[in-house]
Structure 1
Amino acid sequence: MPAVESDGQEKKFGAFGGVFTPCTLTILGVIMFLRFGQVVGQAGFYSAIAIVLASKVITTLTSLSLSAIASNTRVRGGGAYYIISRSLGVEFGGAIGIVFFLAQAISVAMYVIGFTEALVSTFPSLTEKSLAIATFVNIVTFACVYIGAGWTIKVQYGILAVLGAALVSFYVGTANSFSLSVLKENLLPHYTEGENFFTIFALFFPAVTGIMAGANMSGDLKNPAHSIPRGTLAAVAVTAVVYLSQAFLLAGVSTHEELITNNLIVRAVSRWPMLITAGVFAATLSSALGSMMGAPRIMQAFARDEIFPWFNFFGAASGKSNEPRRATVLTFVIAQCCVLLGDLNAIAPIITMFFMITYGLLNLATFYEAVTKNPSYRPTFRYCHWSLSLLGAIGCLGVMLLINWAVALSSIVVMAAIYGSIQYREIEARWGDLQGGVAFERARRALLRLEDTAYHPKNWRPVVLALSSSAWNRPHLAIYGEWLTSGHGVLTLAQVVCGDVEDHAERRDSYERALRKFIEKEELQAFSAVVVGTYLSDGIEALVQCHGIGGLKPNTVLIGWPKTETKSEAFCATLRLLARLQRSVICARLLLDEEVPDGQHAAEDREAMLAEAWEIPEGTIDVWWRGMKNGALMMLLAHMLQQNPDWRHKTIRVLRIVPHEDAVDEVREHIIQLAATSRIRVEPVVQVAENIPQVIQSTSANAAVVLLGFEAPAEGEEADFYCRMETMVGELPRVLFVDSAGGMELDS
């Protein structure tokens, strides 16, 4: 899945114009002018301060996390979506991309409705035309952004000046009429019916969500790593002073009844009311512009990552500056639908939930980046610790639940559904994310714990090294290795390249790529390993001794049985080597495992062989018992074979040959007790015979697979050993010869 970035755009905005200005204008917006009086009147001065401080704590912690990640990676278009997706992975990125885009798009409607409300309050004669006015303002906002971000950002400088003048008017007016007696009456809450601390918090919190306004413009910044931290934190600090001072002054100039009922109380107490009117218009319009600029850029970055194909249309860019005009049209449509609702108090809590989810995941991303100790996490912004990021994530979740636990849980369920949908579709990202770092850290810690834990036979698992050559030409070994370990142990497909390392380095790499491709194509739970050795035995010795780490070093080697006696000497030397290295050995004698020659039809032959290799043969799983030395491992291998879904209907038969009829009952009872102790369901079969090879071949003629124990022959006895084992199994098509090095117990 390609991740296309718009690098062709000229990035010309710095910390002040590209981050501080849009953040400040969005934070000091519609809520400050039209609803903050209600916040102070309902909650009282003390609780209003608590609401502002709690909101600022969450946004400050999130800003610190945002600054840390923004200074650690090259932040491109998409703001918070880009950061979260590149940290937490494509699943979280896809979920947050949709939610964050909707939050920004709905915010446009909130600011447009706020502007309309202020206009109608100023000119009551326009009340009946409020919906038409809101629609017109939405269209104008859309048109401004559709032209281009550069023009819009320049306009915001003028809006910032108007906002500053409005605040001066407010401070001068309230300073002249401030009363300590009024302040005393407004210290405590005066909640109306249905309101409480958390509903008022939900009403106020959208006011501080503007911290993302600068990050959303990351694709338009000269230096995002420098501008985002400075601009965002400066905006948070400045606006915190404004809201705290405004809460103090409002509580001291008006009664709580007037604060609650008069949405334009800020204008009523100001020295020059027309400046407040101008400030309301400027703030609401600038906030609408900021959200209308940010939302399409989130959608454009999201669409270009091709997480959901039906969004790809909105990834297109227009003009030299790569404007996201298609996504801008979509933002306008969503905003207009919300404008039709026309209720600011209804929209604000929805936005609160969406932003809380976004902020929580942003904090979580930073927490994971830091706590996993990923060497690539080297932010130049030093004032963020993993504990602060974790606190921010917990704070966001806690506030969501306290505001409205049902809506919060519903939001989490929706996020989980989007996450699960992406994960189910197995979408693969083309960027590095934290999942690899988290997995590495977990694996590192688990390996260290495994190293410190005293080994016990109860914990034995097959760590199989399958010498499967290229795997494409001899797939049966790889597939049997998968069956013997799937869900239980660890499988490595290994190949030895004979020759000098310097001469075969490139060849080694190509073989390893081929093995990985085979593993991926056949969906095996396996690793790959290729070594170069002067001789085959040298390569095998190196693999067995050096492959793996700690408790995950191979304890079992799976190799193919030689097809001719001429290869028995080298093969038996390998068996003795493995025995000396105290490794269990499984020799797979599979008569169907014929190598495919190179030629015109080699690819077709390989596909046919692969299909045949995966076919589950009919019959039982036969374990020929000749004692506990090899029998314990053979029983466990039979049991693990049976745990595979396609093998579950197979019956495990434990068979033994006795020389006299008198021993049949005793041996059968012994097998039954052995099965009970090992907790493996088996069918005991006891045969009386003197011709052992004949009985094995006739009894297991229709078996799916036969397991038979052996011991590595002494030097000089290789040919006799090979002939004896061949005579033992005859034409049986699927035999696993097993030589156990111990380490497991059936009764553990």
Structure 2
Amino acid sequence: MSVRRISKKFSVQSVEASELKGAKFSLLGESTEAYAGIPTEVVDEDIEAEDEDNTQLNLFEEDDKTLPPMSNWFGKLAAYTGGIEPTVGETKQLKEKQTKSSDNKRLGTILGVFLPCCQNIFGILLFVRVGWITGVAGAFQTFLIVLLCCSCTMLTALSMSAIATNGKVPAGGSYFMISRSIGPAFGGAVGILFYLGTTIASAMYLVGAVEVFLKYICPQASLFGDITSDAALFNNTRVYGTILLFTVMCCVFMGIRFVSRFAAVSLAAVLISILCVYLGVFTVNPSRSPYVCALGGRLLSQDFITVNGTAQCHKNTTGPIYEAYCNNPEIATEESCAFFNANNISYFPAMPGLTSQKFFENFFESHYREKGKAYDNIDFPADRKYGQGSNIADVTSSFMLLLGIYFPSVTGIMAGSNRSGDLTNPQKSIPMGTILAITMTSLVYLSSPLLFAAICDGSVMRDKFGESYGGILLVAAFAWPHFWVILIGSCLSTIGAGLQSLTGAPRLLQAIAQDNVMPFLDVFKVITKRGEPLRAQLLCYGIAQLGILIASIDYLTPLITMFFLMCYGFVNLATMLNGFLKEPSWRPRFRFYHWFLSFVGLCLCIALMFISSWYYTIVAWALAFAIYKYIEFRGASKEWGDATRGLQMSTAKEAILKLGNKPIHTKNWRPQILVYLPLDENFQARHDRLLDLVYQLKAGHGLTLVASILEGDIIDRRNDMIAAKAHLSDLIQEHRIKGLAEVLVASTIDEGMKNMAQCAGLGNLRHNTLMVSYPEDWRVDCKSSGSKLSKFISTLRAAQACDIAMLVPKGIDSFPLSKGNQMIGNVDVWCIVHDGGLLLLTSYLLMRNRVWRKCHLRIFVVATEEDDIVNLKKDMTKFLYDLRINASVEVVAMSTADISAYVAQRTASIEQRRALLMQMKISTVEARCDPQLIVDQHRKPSSADINPADIVKSNCSIDSHKLLPAISATSTESSDQSPDHATNVTNTSSSDSASKEDTKPSNLKPDTESNDKPISNHSHHCTVSFATGSNVAVSESDKSTNPKENDANSELNRGINEFTFSPSNPLTKLVQKAAREAGSKEEHLLNKAHPGRISSFSCIQTDTVSVFS
């Protein structure tokens, strides 16, 4: 439900503006973060401001003016592109198209997707390699190779269709769909591999065109001798390939319009060529077939048996065969002559027509050989000098290698998605056109090996270059109506495919550079005035030239296979993750997909990679991993709502739920550090060296949260919170900390720290260690309730209440930098009390960092003079050995008085004093005002630094628990002070008379002059506890001229809590008097000849009490 603004103006006389001002309604449940999975870019945040005169008279005012009207929101929603944006080079063209009529976008499924995909899928391999693969592997294994490749592309097409229909698809091509689906790091890596595959594929197409030209069209054009030798063929291919590449690049430089016009010619050529091949399959017969000559099953070269233009396939002594095997002294041997005499010569048609006999002969039989070996099993070695070159394997063959050679013939399935900007309805045309094109091409590819096996002899198909039947291309030999149709058509289609690749690859590289995911590609962002990526085109030209220098289709195809399989695999991965995780934003219109099919496609891509070439696979994965890591560490931060992020969220959720709230075992404990980093008014960190310490503790591998607190209200300081969080994130990245940033807005710092300590973390990832800096200038304004000391004390109390450890580094601003020089010296750990091993663990983690690695760890164990120091050192050394910590151990003996703050020897006296107060029936207010009781209850090294602001309470209502952190916090500071100093603790009077007056707190400073001077002249109420259990209340006497009584009053005013009763002690008279008046039976104890020590003596001062430690 929405609140509509009422625009009617009211009269000022009837409705006061002051009454209307501030009247607001809150629109509950609405947010500008996301609408049903649609990014915030859809929401229009630029709302036109209203007239100032109308603002005061509006009856209601929206609470959040950033929410757009529904009309504007739907307008932006209609233009939502799903994060897929066109390249910069195409942006200008798109703007020009928008000014024209919408009739220009008239490409439908057939012209826009189906035919371009067919043109790119039908390549040179169908004409020059399918027949040879069928002859070597057999029809059955070739069918399996084709089936695996076509299945891979079909499953990938289903996945791509789901991605393409999950949002609007403008111009930009397949890279944008991939990168926006699997994230910038994976997308950039796959994009680079896809770019390399497309560029090298252009080199393969051009090498194939040169092969058709030199082998089948014009062998006389050879520049390096006989074209049948590999060296001559490679060198000729390099020369003519370079010339052809330069010519094609000139066409590319002319612009996309010329390439588009040539594409129509190329498409017509490839379709006509395939049609002629299938017509020839069903029309070939012995009369239309070329004849071949075979000696003992081995085909002989047509040039070898031809004399004066006539083929002489016989055993006559006047023929060329007898001359070469038996009569020529240069090449004839006894073995060759014996082979000639032992075998018959046959002359038969190479393509007799469709016969079941040939089909079954070629169906299962395979002839895998190493390079240089004969395809048959005849003992006589095959040699070109005997005309047997067509029987020799020019490359090593196996099922895996042939699969790698064949796979590039089924690529090109993304040609339709690259034209998405010119489609009338991309979401309909891309799935339908792509799947239809793959279906048709797969039928052609699957049927071709079966048909070739049914019409051709196996040895003829293994003749890769057609030497036995006149150097004619196999498919051209039986094509109808003439072989020249196939030769010219295959040559034109191959050049066209290379031209398309060299046109698309630079735009792909420019698109990757435009995404800013890889800084070193920024140079390729530049485009010409015509929108052409010239620099990217020059780079493509260089890479394609390297491919031309390889000069062999059989060596180029495995490389292309790796790159395209990587790309297809990640397309399947993206669809699998989105389908499996069921992200709310994953709503593709294409319904004929399933995440399990995508998973099968992914596994098939990986399997095909390792089957075709395991070492090329390792190289491709290593290259992809290197690019991924480069983008992760150096690339720009991009958030495209990809499936990888969804997988991380789902994995994190499952891991946290699996951990549950079970207690963490000691072996799995690690410091999960919550770092409180205060910020100034400009959001600058006050103690950023804390982050250096956190970075040096990274060996703990815990979750780090760097947090700060802003005082105020979240509604008023929302923008400040966002700015502060962004600054903290920058600091984390600057200090290379693997952690998170958080900013909390609270009414006070104390409340914020309490909330942060309670709520930070999740499940077993809750933070168990709080790190705050030590308040160095805590003495300044320490009386104030908002002082640094009080905030620090409150933080200590919050940490204690939440059962989390505390790390309080002192002098953090001088802490070594993480990028600074290595420290040399010692790291000392003083073990005074057992802290659970946190100090040892912290020191160990520091020693693993580069800064402290050269330091030596020393452990100082504090012991009393009565302890066995030798055995204690041995035990500590063994303890460190069991913990696998290398450190030296030193035992320091100290007196009990020096370390009394760290032992529990006063527990008994504390309990007795507490029982005394109960027996005396002292009120709760008076008990809380007993500083000595509070200090003894929470005894620490020194209580001299107690903050008076923490115990200033009305009616002497002192919270004794609040003093615990105060005393513990000063343990380090008190070591530098005299143990005889005192801190004045001030509270209001608890007596009836004093409560009516305003008592000003006294100045807080240590008593460094003399402990003999009375701190206050106010009255004291003291209590004596005898060993027999009796209690006597003692008060100071009235002022008199008696020197002894004045001495006793002065002694009592000192507030001492223990003394020895003896006749010489002036306090003895006061105690005797108090005992006599109270009727105590213990009075006689004071009159004994020998002095005795009573169990306890405590004083309560009504205004100011000096607490001695």
Tell me, yes or no, whether TM beats 0.5: yes
2:343 alignment partner in structure 1: none
5 Å-filtered alignment, 1:57-72, equals 57-72=151-166
Q: Name the CA distance, whole Å, in 1 between partners of 2:547 and 2:668.
A: 59
Q: Does the 8 A contact of 1:300 with 1:315 survive in 2? A: yes
Partner of 1:401: 610
Matched, 1:256 2:350: no
2:538 and 2:969 mapped to 1: Cα distance?
79
1:502 — aligned with what? 715
Deviation at residue 291 of structure 1 after TM alignment: 1.7
* TM norm structure 1: 0.82
Change (3 A) 1:383 1:625: same
Amino acid at match of 1:182: K
Q: 1:722 to 1:28 in 2, by over 3 A?
A: closer
Q: Does 1:451 align with 2:535?
A: no
1:314 equivalent in alignment to 2:516: no
The residue aligned with 2:799 is 578
Contact 1:49–1:244 (8 Å) recurs in 2:
yes
Question: Which residue is 1:522 aligned to?
Answer: 735
Q: Give the alignment of 1:546-561 within 5 angstroms.
A: 546-561=759-774
* 1:21/1:157 contact within 8 Å kept: no
| 1:43 corresponding residue in structure 2 | 137
SS at match of 1:474: coil
| Distance in structure 2 (CA, Å) of the matches to 1:720 and 1:236 | 77
**Deviation digits for residues 663-715 of structure 1 (CA, Å, limit 9, x no counterpart):** 5445445544544554544523222235528999xxxxxxxxxxx99999934
Task: Name the structure 2 match of 1:656.
Answer: 862
Q: After superposition, where does 1:90-101 map in structure 2 within 5 Å? A: 90-101=184-195
- TM-score, normalized by length of structure 2? 0.57
> Following superposition of structure 1 onto structure 2, how do residues 176-255 of structure 1 map, counting pairs within 5 Å?
176-177=283-284, 178-191=354-367, 192=375, 193=393, 194-217=396-419, 224-255=426-457
Q: Following TM superposition, by how much is the alpha carbon of 1:482 offset from its aligned partner in structure 2, in angstroms?
A: 4.4
How has the CA–CA distance of structure 1 residues 4 and 663 changed in structure 2, closer, same or farther, with 3 Å as cutoff? farther
Equivalent residues of 1:78, 1:302 under 8 A apart: no
Higher relative helix content: 1
Greater Cα shift, 721-730 or 385-394: 721-730
Q: In 1, Cα distance between the equivalents of 2:596 and 2:706?
A: 42
Per the alignment, residue 724 of structure 2 pairs with: 511
Shift of residue 587 of structure 1? 3.8
Maintained 8 Å contact 2:135/2:459: yes
Amino acid at match of 2:362: N
* Residue 240 of structure 1, CA deviation: 0.9
Residue 475 to residue 288, structure 1, CA distance change in 2 (3 Å): closer
Could you say which residue in structure 2 is the equivalent of 1:171? 278
For 1:648-669, what per-residue CA distance to the aligned partner results, in whole angstroms no more than 9, with x for missing partners? 42423233142x3565445445
Q: Secondary structure at the match of 1:527?
A: strand
How many angstroms does 1:419 deviate by? 4.4
Q: Deviations over 1:392-432 (max 9, x none)?
A: 23323322322333333344344444445555x62234353
* Whole-angstrom CA distance in 1 between matches of 2:822 and 2:398: 66
Measured after TM superposition, the shift of residue 53 of structure 1 is 0.8
Where does residue 513 of structure 2 map in the other structure?
303
Mapped to 2, the partners of 1:709 and 1:154 lie a distance apart of: 91
Give how far 1:551 is off: 0.9
Residues 1:626 and 1:199: Cα distance change in structure 2 (over 3 Å):
closer
1:637 aligns with 2:637: no
Structure 1 residue aligned with 2:252:
145
The corresponding residue for 1:598 is none
Distance, in Å, in 1 between the alignment partners of 2:529 and 2:159 is 33
- Once the two structures are superposed, residues 720-739 of structure 1 have per-residue CA deviations (whole angstroms, 9 ceiling, x without a partner) of 8279636632279xxxxxxx
**1:280 aligns to 2:470 (yes or no):** no
1:544 is displaced (CA, Å) by 1.6
Residue type of the alignment partner of 1:160: L
Higher RCO (CA-CA < 8 Å; seq separation 6+): 1
* Aligned position for 1:383: 592
Determine the C-alpha separation between the residues in 2 that align with 1:719 and 1:395.
Answer: 64
Give the number of equivalent residue pairs. 700
In the alignment, is residue 729 of structure 1 matched against residue 939 of structure 2? no
Q: CA deviation at 1:51?
A: 1.7
* Aligned-pair CA distance for 1:57: 0.9
Aligned to 1:599: none
Task: State which of 898, 909, 913 in structure 2 corresponds to 1:692.
Answer: 898
Q: Distance in 2 between matches of 1:291 and 1:519?
A: 44
Does the 8 A contact of 1:692 with 1:728 survive in 2? no
CA contact (8 A) 2:661 2:764 kept: no
Distance 1:571 1:546 in 2: 19
Structure 2: distance between partners of 1:393 and 1:709: 66
Write the letter of the residue equivalent to 1:428: A
Q: Distance in 2 between matches of 1:682 and 1:373?
A: 57
Query: What letter is aligned with 1:436?
Result: R
User: 2-side partners of 1:260 and 1:364: how far apart?
Assistant: 38
Displacement of 1:550: 0.6
Q: Please tell me the residue identity of whatever aligns with 2:475.
A: V
Counterpart contact for 1:366–1:386, Cα < 8 Å: yes
State which drifts further: 372-381 or 194-203. Answer: 372-381
Query: Which sits farther off after the overlay, 239-248 or 400-409?
Result: 400-409
In the alignment, structure 1 residue 9 sits paired with structure 2 residue 93: yes
| Mapped partners of 1:526, 1:85: distance in 2 | 26
What's the RMSD between the two structures over aligned residues?
A: 3.8
Write out per-residue CA displacement over residues 213-245 of structure 1, whole angstroms, 9 at most, x where no aligned residue: 334455665665544333322211110112223
| CA deviation vs aligned residue, 1:100-129 (integer Å, no higher than 9, x gap) | 333222322332333344445664465437
Is the Cα–Cα contact under 8 Å of residues 86 and 171 in structure 2 kept in the other structure?
Answer: no
Kindly provide the CA deviation profile for residues 458-515 of structure 1, in whole angstroms up to 9, marking residues without a partner as x.
3222223233212711234444444456534233222222223322222222222222
Secondary structure (helix, strand or coil) at the match of 1:529 reads strand
Distance 1:720 1:19, change over 3 A: closer
Greater shift, 391-400 or 542-551, is seen at 391-400
Deviation at 1:35, TM superposition (A): 2.2
Residues in 2 aligned to 1:329 and 1:724: alpha-carbon distance in whole angstroms: 70
2:502 is matched with: 292
1:217–1:294 CA contact under 8 A, matched in 2: no
Change beyond 3 A, Cα 1:281–1:619: closer
Once residues 404 and 212 of structure 2 are traced to their aligned partners in structure 1, the CA distance between those partners, rounded to angstroms, is 21
Q: Which residue number corresponds to residue 21 of structure 2?
A: none
Q: CA deviation at 1:296?
A: 1.9
State the AA in 2 paired with 1:147.
Answer: M
1:444 counterpart SS class: helix
- Separation in structure 2 between the aligned mates of residue 617 and residue 135 of structure 1, nearest angstrom: 60
Q: 2:889 aligns with which of 683, 688, 696?
A: 683
Change in Cα spacing, 1:632 to 1:252, as seen in structure 2 (3 Å) is closer
Larger CA Rg, structure 1 vs 2: 2
Distance in 2 between residues matched to 1:482 and 1:714, nearest whole Å:
38
The letter of the residue matching 1:214 is G
Which region of structure 1 is more displaced relative to structure 2, 73-82 or 522-531? Answer: 73-82
Alpha-carbon separation, structure 1, partners of 2:418 and 2:941: 67
C-alpha distance in 2 between matches for 1:646 and 1:268: 76
- After TM superposition, give the deviation of residue 207 of structure 1 in Å: 1.1
Shift in CA distance, 454/294, structure 1 to aligned 2, threshold 3 Å: same
Q: Distance in 2 between matches of 1:304 and 1:720?
A: 58
Q: What are the Cα deviations for residues 290-340 of structure 1, in whole angstroms up to 9, with x where unaligned?
A: 2222222222223334556564443333345x2334433443444345445
Counterpart-to-counterpart distance in 1, 2:968 and 2:404:
80
Map 1:334-733; keep pairs closer than 5 Å.
334-339=543-548, 341-371=550-580, 373-420=582-629, 426-432=634-640, 433-451=642-660, 453-470=662-679, 472-484=685-697, 486-562=699-775, 563-564=778-779, 565-566=782-783, 567=787, 568=789, 571-588=792-809, 590-591=810-811, 593=813, 620-628=826-834, 630=835, 632-648=837-853, 649-658=855-864, 660-661=865-866, 663-665=868-870, 667-672=872-877, 674-676=879-881, 678-680=883-885, 681-689=887-895, 692=898, 714-715=960-961, 717=963, 721=967, 725=971, 728-730=974-976
Query: In 1, are the aligned partners of 2:558 and 2:616 still within 8 Å (CA)?
Result: no
Greater shift in the superposed pair: 160-169 or 39-48 = 160-169
Residues 537-596 of structure 1 deviation map (CA, whole Å, 9 limit, x = unaligned): 3222221222211111222323344412434555444433433333333444x2565xxx
